[in-house]
Chains A and B, each alone.
Chain A
Amino acid sequence: MSNETANILKEHGIEMFRSMVRIRRFEERAGELLDAGEIGGELHQYIGQEAVAVGICSALRADDRITSNHRGHGHLLAKGGDITKMMAELYGKQYGYCRGKGGSMHMTSLDLGIMGTNGIVGAGAPIAAGAGLAAKILKTDRVSIAFFGDGGAAEGAVHEAMTLASVWKLPVIFVCENNQYAISLKFDESSPVEDLSVKAAGYNMPGVIVDGMDPIAVYDAAKPLIEKARAGEGPAFIEAKTYRFVGHFSVEHAIVSAPYRSDEEVKKWKQRDPLITLRKRLVDSGFATEGDLDAIDQAAKDEVETAIEFSRADDLPDVSEALEDAYATPNEFLPAKV
């Protein structure tokens, strides 16, 4: 282990473990609740990719901005999301982050600097560029992160955002979580290049590849790029090679007739489970004991169960609220209520 890695591990390792395990336990239980019919809608679980969101967000300031995508629970939690407010949103309840208006794909907290999780692939990238524009003009010194996947890397919105961020030298980091599949489409069938990071060259910004199963590596790659962006040196592109251990969405197994990924492939990636490898590193290096980490894991499980109990008991929104919140400046001739 390099000195740098050891330092990051020492300084952030335990918090990274806590953050990743909160994501994992939240997503596992959310999937069970959906399967059981207790919550509705769709669920895109972040299981397997935790190291990316956690590695990046560990390198951010609290007031930095992120835009997220349909697989957004992990980003929200890594940025400090409240599990109870998230769970209540999945239940469509009053206490939820969006008071039941958003559900899984739109749950967000502007207070945490999260400028939307987004149900439209690639759509968060221009918004992140806009946050970067605001940071530059208002001199707030903030950096914004655009999270998207290998599927999103094919979207025009992402490429237009990269052009703008580079031409205007905006403090934006484009984080491509290459989990190898755009739903069922294998990466090599959707990308003309083996590494998406090479695209950065066309936008005259640094492009790096990082092991997306290792939060320390993600942090290590991201930190200097984030600080350069903050210092006014412009955007960067990070390709994190990663994998989702589950389907594109939680009930996929019940719909898809033939699996598009082999058992061997899934098994191979699961051997690199970021929770297992980080646990081992922390224990091997003496920064934590197995018992310490078990306790963190148990606390995350308890937190999720408490959130479920709270959400079950929480009130559903009043139907009168269906016509509220659409407009900030009201008018008697709008459907929205004042």
Chain B
Amino acid sequence: MKVRKLRFMRALRDGLVEEMRRDPTTIVLGEDVTIGLMGVTTGLVDEFGSDRVFDTPLAELGFTGAAVGAAMDGLRPIVEYQISTLPYLAMDQLVNQAAKLRYMTGGQMSVPLVIRMASSGASGGVAAQHSDHNYPMLAHMGLKVVMPATPADAKGLLKAAIRDNDPVIFYEDAKLMGMRGDVPKQEYIVPLGKAAVPRTGKDVTVVGAGHMVVEALQVAEALAAEGVDVEVVDVRTILPLDTETILESAAKTGRVVVADDSNSFCGFAAEVAAVVADEAFSDLKGPVVRVARPTIPIPFSPPLEEAVLPGGKEIRAAIERLMA
């Protein structure tokens, strides 16, 4: 397979361009998308025109609802949220409308809509209202949620999200936007609901998504030198969640750490821990350990921010606890 090295952001853009060329019903809208303030939509308006790529007024509830309506009526809108906290402004359209319309109308409607959370998470020094990484939130309400951890997956999963006939919330992890990686040259799709196992190991499983996968791989590399063999499961999509791959890995290693850069309370790590406890209890050699944010706002000052965000150090400590 021929590959080339691309940055995460560029891989996203390539995926977007390919799908827009393929399907004339796709449109891109959001705040500052024509100038490409967040880097992914740069130049799209030149190729596809202002009918298909256009800026919205700062009316998140309104333009999300308009995207829902357009999706119900023949278009495939791809909406960019400039900040991952904007869904709070649009919650009714996301949860009460997009997520429920098909079900409550007995399957009459579909809402093929993608919401791109551009640069989600704590990008550093932007404090409480710009640092949330709320990927479990909408999955809790039944929306499909995707979070790639590599440039190749960023492209392949975005293409799958655009072709999906349901609303899909697509998280672009702020800490990965500059990451470089091999991206296949030929066309490909990465299906939703299929986890990846970027590293196999026999001693302990780390389950994660987004940049926590990258952190886990670095920790695994370091621990290998110390004789601990870590397996890393990248779930790729929060919902649908590939529990089969998680449970297979749990059965193999008997030790599970969940690396989740979101609030711990009622969170993604809690869900994975519950699934493993329910279905693989007899395979476990110890508790399922959660590595996640404390459920508080993110502070500004660097040492405070550092203290509350989970990363490699916390993953390593969790593994060491299980291996002790």
Contacts and interface: CB of A to CB of B under 8 A. Distances in A.
Interface string A197-235: 000000000000000000000000000000000000000
Which one of A97, A102, A335 has the highest number of Cβ atoms from chain B below 10 Å of its Cβ?
A: A102
B73 A326 contact: no
Interface string A75-114: 0000000000000000000001111111000101111000
Interface stretch (A23-31, A129-137, A240-248): A129-137
B104 A129 contact: no
B142 interface: yes
Nearest to A158: B62
A180 B54 CA distance: 38
B106 A138 contact: no
B282 interface: no
B108 A324 contact: no
Contacts of A140: 74
A135 B73 contact: yes
Given A102-B105, A108-B105, A123-B65, A65 B73 contact: yes
B97 interface: yes
Interface string B203-247: 000000000000000000000000000000000000111111000
B61 A129 contact: no
Given A127-B68, A328-B112, A101 B62 contact: no
Nearest to B142: A326
Interface stretch (A53-61, A159-167, A183-191, A304-312): A159-167
B106 A133 contact: no
Contacts of A161: 62, 65-66
Contact of B75 (A97, A138, A335): A138
Interface string A275-303: 00000000000000000000000000000
A144 B64 CA distance: 17
A332 interface: yes
B63 interface: yes
B249 interface: no
A126 B165 contact: no
A43 interface: no
Contacts of A102: 104-106
B46 interface: no
A128 interface: yes
Q: Chain A: interface residue count, which band? A: 35 or more
Contact of B193 (A119, A134, A160, A333): A333
A157 interface: yes
A262 interface: no
A167 B75 contact: no
Interface in A129-183: 129-135, 137-138, 140, 144, 156-157, 159-161, 163-164, 167-168
Contacts of A157: 61-62, 65, 92-93
Contact of A100 (B59, B62, B106): B106
B65 A106 contact: no
A195 interface: no
A13 interface: no
Contacts of B252: none
Interface string B50-67: 011010110101111111
B101 interface: yes
A134 B241 contact: no
A328 B64 CA distance: 20
A3 interface: no
Contacts of B104: 98, 101-102, 106
Nearest to B239: A334
B65 A328 contact: no
B48 to A, nearest CB: 12
A164 to B, nearest CB: 5
Interface string B167-198: 00000000000000000000000001100000
A119 B56 CA distance: 26
A133 B59 contact: no
Nearest to B54: A168
Contacts of B65: 123, 125-127, 129-130, 157, 160-161
Which one of A115, A126, A134, A156 has the highest number of Cβ atoms from chain B below 10 Å of its Cβ?
A: A126
Given A127-B72, A325-B102, A156 B61 contact: yes
Interface string B124-146: 00000000000000000010100
A144 B107 CA distance: 22
A231 to B, nearest CB: 18
Contacts of B12: none
Given A134-B69, A161-B62, A326 B102 contact: yes
A109 B102 contact: no
B19 interface: no
Interface of B: 25, 27, 51-52, 54, 56-57, 59, 61-75, 77, 92-93, 96-97, 101-112, 142, 144, 164-166, 192-193, 239-244
19 contacts: A67-B69, A99-B106, A110-B105, A123-B65, A128-B69, A130-B67, A131-B70, A133-B66, A137-B27, A138-B25, A138-B74, A156-B61, A157-B93, A161-B62, A327-B144, A328-B102, A328-B112, A333-B244, A334-B240
Given A160-B61, A333-B243, 7 more contacts: A118-B97, A130-B72, A130-B73, A137-B52, A161-B62, A328-B107, A329-B164
Please name the 9 residue pairs, one residue from A and one from B, whose CB atoms are nearest each other, closest first.
A130-B69, A126-B65, A160-B62, A333-B240, A328-B165, A127-B69, A98-B106, A160-B59, A328-B110
Interface of A: 65, 67, 96-102, 106, 108-111, 115-116, 118-120, 123, 125-135, 137-138, 140, 144, 156-157, 159-161, 163-164, 167-168, 324-329, 331-335
